[in-house]
A and B are shown apart, each in its own frame.
Chain A
Amino acid sequence: MFQGVLNTNSRLIIASYIPAMPPNAVILCSGNFSVESTLRMNGYEGTMKGCDVTLHSCMAGAYLSGNDLEVGFNSKEFPDLSPLAEYLDDMETRTAIILIAEEIGQFYRKRNRYEIRNCEAILRRLPELVEKTVLKLQRKKESIGEYQYFGMDAIELLAATPDDPDHIILTFPPSYSGDYEKMFKFLDDVFPWEKPDYKPLTSGEEYASLVTAGNRQWIYGAEHPTSEIEEILGEPISKANRSRLKDIFLYTNMEVPSHLIRRKFPVKVCDIERMTDADEITEKSKIWIHKIPGAEANYIRQLYLARNVTPSSAMYNYGVIIDGKLAGIVSFDTSTFDLPEYTKWEKVYLLGDLPVSGTRYKNLAKLIATAALSSEMQRELESIMITELKVAFTTVFSDKPSSMKYRGAWKVYNRKEGVVNYLGKFGRWDLKGAMLKWLANQRKLKAITKP
């Protein structure tokens, strides 16, 4: 699937500027035509021109603008994809095939059954997918309406655009030049075509200078604003959050209101009663884990997460309940960390563990961190992830050599500057065992601190 720079939040802001836009819009680096779609579907009635240099953009752009673009098929290297070649005679089905081939590209390495299955499924259902993609394309063409597309470098189209305030340049240059080409290599390999000549963007400043020169109006999007580029573009007019990705900053010379969209987490009040200083944990206490929705876990995180920790949402969230009251939460996510000793099925990432505050216990955090490795937690995660877990992995962002709450139950895996990574083996105790161990430590601590 095509990954563009513009997300929902950026599109909201751009759409709000439509009433102020001049009658001619020129979109440099059309990508997946998000700008074109945003403008046209939300009332922009002026002329629109776009350009780009990839096969994806050039094929779809040619189709949307009523033009033709021929491609070949590399049957020598990709004989298994020959069913695709049957649809290359007609411009409409050819465009659909390029979009579908992009999906195939995600799985084409066929490293495992998942990728093989996806490739096979797409090829098996090719006639249906082509037919339905064509319908999507027809709808898109109708909604975009009058449109001109040029398979050329942004700089070339810019140079050909009249230098007057009746024209607006909209550009969101990709910030990942190397990967950008890699992203489209698969398509280029399968479908040889006459690529337009272009010079990869080497300097953002040079490009920004060209876009902003003259009398045209412009909107420029950047995800890596630097003081050098802001010397050219001025202060940003808007900022849009893109969840875990970098925020997008918009710059313009138009007289439009500034906008700001901050990151927000879905939050719902968690009404499980929380432990207070009136609650005592004893050997007779009952402890269990309880699955809680992500939005409720976010609420608890807002209340108790340390200031220096960046919050993020996790897939699997559990409350640690003691005698019916919430003592803390643990949150896990599938692990992307490289632990060569363990297979990908055997590890999970502990994204967060935190105790509620306001209890009589100063080191409740240690109990929560220990409970996270209990056999009950292991079984629960195994059943939800359908895997056999051996270890959990977590990261502490701190300059201290170790973290008190992990000491004992967890082991330091490695240290880097400001980061300590911990590894914990599952199933060495159950929840009750973890609690009794913690209580024993409590007694020791009390004995030590007694005058």
Chain B
Amino acid sequence: MVGESKKIESYNKTLKKIFSEVFGGKLELILIDPASPRLRPMSKNARYMTKEQFNQLQSNLMNDGILESVPLVHRLSDGDYEIISGHHRIEAAAKAELKSILVMVIPEELDLSEKRSRQISHNAISGQDDMQTLSAMWHEVTKLSDKLYSGLDSETIGVLEKIKFEGLNAYAIRTEFISFWFLPEEVTDFEELLAHYTAIAGSKKVYLAPLEKYDTLMRGLIQAKKLSNVRNTAVAFGLLVDDLKTIIDNMEQDAATEETEQAGVA
């Protein structure tokens, strides 16, 4: 390892000499371990990658063994480097266990405004893709492994047309969404509210109920679920309705019996 770092130090001296001649000390190029604590990320970075994108980048780096593009950093007063552009590339290179990567260095510490403007510009001034050309290029990438490498996919490029398809299954029983909205009783503009909540709920039927009844219904539904060992709320609701029917039937029977008895007495 010591030998390796000495070698890198020696390469960096040579690179410094060349870059000093070409760019007059305004820019340097160094080799550095991407996992080095001397490479510090910026406190803020607006650019993000999805996990899939990051994984692909890491996988590409692992396959290649090198990072093919060069991140930009600036040298801090303590000699460490702060990343301006290439946070994800450096992180992915470290995760891919690359031993060294090339990094461009602005040799002086930039103030906050300067470094932010560079950071933003590297992401913002990045151009756009013409989809027709991109699609033509996509067709030239023939192997699936190369397509994976590219980071895009056929759907994003828009090369797959929509298709017609219908499965072969039994006709499904029609279900319908109904909604219950519990509102404070002082609400009076019933029609307007009903139309409003029906639209929000996206359901065909909306029932309004006073807010104070909410807990009662909830308790009833939870109890029905527990007793019948089901999770489905519609089934629990159906059980409550069944119970209610039984109660009404019993009440009607009681009333009829009472009427008969009274008639008998009369």
State the A residues within 8 Å of B (CB): 1-2, 8, 11-13, 15-16, 32-34, 37-38, 41-42, 60, 96, 99-100, 102-103, 111-114, 117, 121-122, 125, 129, 132-133, 135-137, 139-140, 143, 235-239, 257-264, 277, 302-303, 305, 307, 309-311, 334, 343-345, 358, 382-383, 386-388
Contacts and interface: CB of A to CB of B under 8 A. Distances in A.
A261 B169 contact: no
A262 B153 contact: yes
Given A114-B235, A129-B173, A307-B95, A345 B154 contact: no
A386 B143 contact: no
A387 B144 contact: no
A15 B164 CA distance: 9
A225 to B, nearest CB: 11
Interface stretch (B106-114, B225-233, B250-258): B225-233
Given A11-B163, A41-B165, A111-B229, A257 B139 contact: yes
Interface string B161-179: 1011111111111000000
A292 to B, nearest CB: 16
Given A135-B171, A140-B166, A235-B143, 13 more contacts: A11-B165, A16-B161, A96-B170, A112-B228, A117-B235, A235-B145, A239-B148, A259-B144, A262-B153, A264-B155, A302-B50, A386-B236, A388-B222
Interface of B: 43-44, 48, 50-52, 54, 91, 95, 139, 141-145, 147-148, 153-155, 159-161, 163-173, 218, 221-222, 225-226, 228-233, 235-236, 238-239
A99 B171 CA distance: 9
Contacts of A258: 141-144, 147
Given A1-B169, A34-B167, A60-B168, A114 B232 contact: yes
B48 A42 contact: no
Nearest to A13: B160
Contacts of B228: 112-114
A261 B163 contact: no
For the complex of A and B, the 8 pairs showing the least CB-CB separation, nearest first, are A132-B171, A99-B170, A113-B228, A41-B164, A114-B230, A15-B163, A259-B154, A112-B229
B222 A33 contact: no
Given A117-B238, A343-B226, A344-B231, A259 B160 contact: yes
Contacts of A263: 52
A139 B166 contact: yes
A237 B144 contact: yes
Given A235-B144, A303-B48, A136 B235 contact: no
21 contacts: A8-B165, A11-B165, A13-B160, A15-B163, A16-B161, A37-B168, A41-B166, A60-B168, A121-B173, A235-B143, A236-B144, A257-B142, A259-B154, A261-B154, A305-B51, A307-B54, A311-B50, A345-B222, A386-B225, A387-B222, A387-B225
A97 B160 CA distance: 37
Contacts of B225: 345, 386-387
B51 A260 contact: no
Nearest to B232: A114
B107 to A, nearest CB: 28
Nearest to B170: A99
Contacts of B165: 8, 11, 34, 37-38, 41-42
